Each structure stands twice: as structure tokens, then as C-alpha cells.
Amino acid sequence: MFRKNILQKIEEINESMQGIRSSDSNESSLFSSDASSEDHDEGTESHEVEKSFLLMSRESDYLTNLEKALQRIDDGSYGICEVSVDDPEKCECPESPLIPEERLLAVPNATKGVFCKEKKKLNLL
């Protein structure tokens, strides 16, 4: 069930990355037809490119994490809070050491339960 969910997310990301790429090529064809225009705002243009680049790298990070999640399914460590593996005493996740199922479905690349994630954020771990 988790594997299917992850594979679906991977597909969605691949599609949205393709979307970003094709909107890029639209922009650049606009740009070239506009190249004779002297008052073209290059600053805005490079900002747009930068933005989609950032988006792409964020999406591909997510993709990498999802692929790692698939590997964890294979080796059997998927859905176990990382903190409980390192230090079981510190994990206060409600279903410790397991990450609750609904969290895994919402955030398939989660490596920690919500409790541990929040604690980590607050530097309590």
C-alpha cells in the first residue's frame, strides 16, 4: 500500500517537473521572438528562470527522498521513527517506534514521527 502511494507521488512529481520544463521552453521561445525589443527586462527573465530552477531542485530532492523511502520498504526499515532506532528513550511518538500510518500516507518520505520531528526542530534532540 505504501509502495503504491510512493510510486504515485513519484509519478506526480515527474509530471510536474515536465510541466516546469515545458513552460520554460515556452518562455524562451517568447524571449527569442522578443529579442529585437531593446527594452526587454532581463532581470525579470533571469528571476523567472531562477525560480523554476529552485522549484526543480526542490522537486528533485523530494524525488530522491521518495526513492530512499522505496529502498526502506525493501529493507524493512520503512515507517520506523529514525529517532527510536538511534535512541529509543528519546522517541515519544504515540505509536513508537512506528510512524503512524496516516502520516506515512500524507508524507511518504517521513523518516520520523511527528513528535520527534517537532523536537528536532526545536533542537531538543
Residues that bind Zn ion in the complex, under the rule CB under 5 A: 81, 83, 91, 93, 113, 116
| Pick 12 or 101: Cβ nearer Zn ion | 101
Residue/partner pairs of 38-43 with CB below 8 Å, 24 or more apart: none
| Pick 6 or 91: Cβ nearer Zn ion | 91
Q: At its nearest, how many Å lie between Zn ion and the CB of residue 117?
A: 8
| Pick 6 or 99: Cβ nearer Zn ion | 99
Q: At its nearest, how many Å lie between Zn ion and the CB of residue 115?
A: 5
| Pick 24 or 92: Cβ nearer Zn ion | 92
Q: At its nearest, how many Å lie between Zn ion and the CB of residue 55?
A: 30
| Residues contacting 82, CB < 8 A, separation 6+ | 111, 112, 116
Whole-Å CA distances, 30 to 34, 35, 41? 6, 9, 13
Residue 102: count other Cβ atoms within 10 Å of its Cβ: 8
